[in-house]
Amino acid sequence: MVFNEKLIHGRLIKRYKRFLADVTLDNGDVVTAHCTNSGSMKSCLEENAEVYLFPVNDPKRKTKFTWEMIKINSDWVGINTGNPNKLAFEAVSNNKIDKLKGYTEVKREVKFGDSRFDVMAKNEEETCFIEVKNVTLKEGDYALFPDAVTTRGKKHLETLIKVKEEGMRAVMLYIIQRMDVHTFAPAFDIDPEYAKTLKKAVKKGVEVIPMQAKVTPQKIELIKELPFKL
């Protein structure tokens, strides 16, 4: 995924009200950016850290920037929760994920029951529903999800189980937007119900694919699949 506008560099003052962040730009201006990440952002928040913002030319928007990434441990962490969906769609469409190759029809935002999945992929043999989650939480060498309790995420897992029970392929795709981790796991301490439901889903045949992404101010690129531990 290549950014189609040059990102704006600055330093984080603070994030507040979940969806807002104040940033000092390099020219000294202080601006408010939209933060798409509704989670706690634990382990990827640091005052005065370098950040990059995407400029938004939309008169209907109150904020003129979207917060894209923050530098933690000398590398960029992608915090825009909308980007993993774009990455997943591009990757599946272009056969960039080994376990999700060979689909001839790929669509975004497809309904199944009372849920809407991020990606649906089809070929002559099968239909595959894919739910995508953004992962930024780090603990030691582990990337963890979620970073806050998510009843919506638990519902998606339960619906993926139904997808599998109806004879289709069901995939939970975690996009890990940081390079300083080596293994994926559910965050048992933060949301034990989500973790238990993920373990149940895997037993029922739902596939887990954690993909690590390299984040830069020019582009975000999927690098490799990480091992996971339940």
Distance (Å, rounded) from C-alpha 177 to C-alpha 156? 21
Do 16 and 88 share a domain, yes or no? no
pLDDT of residue 192: 98
Do 157 and 106 share a domain, yes or no? yes
pLDDT of residue 115: 86
In our burial notation (b when 16+ CB lie closer than 10 A, e otherwise), range 171-181 reads bbbbbbbbeeb
pLDDT of residue 165: 97
2, part of any domain? no
Number of domains in the chain: 2
| Single residue among 31, 54, 75 that ends a domain in this structure | 75
Do 96 and 200 share a domain, yes or no? yes
Q: Can you tell me the mean pLDDT for 196-214?
A: 98
Do 133 and 167 share a domain, yes or no? yes
Q: How confident is the model at residue 59 (pLDDT cuts 50, 70, 90)?
A: confident
Do 98 and 58 share a domain, yes or no? no
Q: Can you tell me the mean pLDDT for 196-215?
A: 98
Tokens for 206, please give them.
């739902």
Rounded-to-10 torsion of CA 24, 27, 28, 34 = -30
137, part of any domain? yes
CATH of the domain at 193: 3.40.1350.60
Do 220 and 152 share a domain, yes or no? yes
Give 48's Cβ-side CA count (13 Å radius). Answer: 0
230, part of any domain? no
Q: How confident is the model at residue 57 (pLDDT cuts 50, 70, 90)?
A: confident
Q: pLDDT tens digits, residue range 95-139?
A: 999 999 999 999 999 999 888 999 999 999 999 999 999 999 999
Q: pLDDT tens digits, residue range 175-191?
A: 999 999 999 999 999 99
3, part of any domain? no
Do 130 and 161 share a domain, yes or no? yes
First-to-last C-alpha distance (Å) of the chain: 29
Residue 226 in this model has a pLDDT that exceeds 90 = yes
pLDDT, the chain, mean: 96
Query: Which residue segment(s) compose the domain that 91 sits in?
Result: 83-225
Q: What are the start-end ranges of the E strands in the chain? A: 8-16, 20-25, 30-34, 50-55, 65-72, 75-78, 105-112, 115-122, 127-135, 137-139, 142-145, 169-176, 183-186, 207-215, 220-225
Measured at the CA of 50, the angle between CA 22 and CA 10, to 5 degrees, comes to: 55
Do 107 and 172 share a domain, yes or no? yes
| Single residue among 75, 102, 122 that ends a domain in this structure | 75
CATH of the domain at 47: 2.40.50.580
Do 102 and 147 share a domain, yes or no? yes
Lowest mean pLDDT across 65-79, 102-116, 157-171: 102-116
DSSP category for residue 123: -
pLDDT of residue 113: 83
| Single residue among 75, 93, 113 that ends a domain in this structure | 75
DSSP category for residue 97: S
Q: pLDDT tens digits, residue range 5-56?
A: 999 999 999 999 999 999 999 999 999 999 999 889 999 999 999 999 999 9
pTM of the model: 0.94
**Selected residue with higher pLDDT from 59 and 214:** 214
